[in-house]
Amino acid sequence: EFSQLVSAGALVTNNIELYPNPTNGVLNISGVERGNRIQVYNATGAAIRDINVQSNLEVVSLDGEPSGMYLIVISNENQLLGRYKAIKK
């Protein structure tokens, strides 16, 4: 027996895209809004970038960082908008 689904209305829909992924060092993040926050973490969980979004296309540089996987966390004042993985070649 299935019960009624009550949490679907709480889902956040957004059109955030990260490209190119994998990247050589510059990551474009589109679909964000001014005032959003982008946090970038390395594979060990250390925060390496904390960006206050200024436009709907934000460019994040991973230059100077080693190759590997990075976690991108995007949020606004009230909620988490998404978690994304990016690979730097």
pLDDT of residue 9: 47
Residue 5's alpha-carbon distances to 1, 9, 50, 80, in angstroms, are 12, 9, 36, 21
In what helix (H) or strand (E) does residue 11 lie, and over which residues does it extend?
none
pLDDT of residue 13: 52
Across the beta sheet with 26-30, what order do the strands follow?
17-19, 26-30, 57-61
**pTM, full prediction:** 0.82
Residue 18: CB atoms within 10 A of its CB come to: 19
pLDDT of residue 18: 95
pLDDT of residue 4: 52
pLDDT of residue 2: 58
Residues 56-84 pLDDT 10s: 999 999 999 999 999 999 999 889 999 99
Q: 22 in the Ramachandran plot: left (φ > 0), alpha (ψ -120 to 50) or beta?
A: beta
Residues 5-53 pLDDT 10s: 554 444 445 689 999 999 999 999 999 999 999 999 999 999 999 999 9
Across the beta sheet with 37-41, what order do the strands follow?
47-52, 37-41, 68-75, 80-88
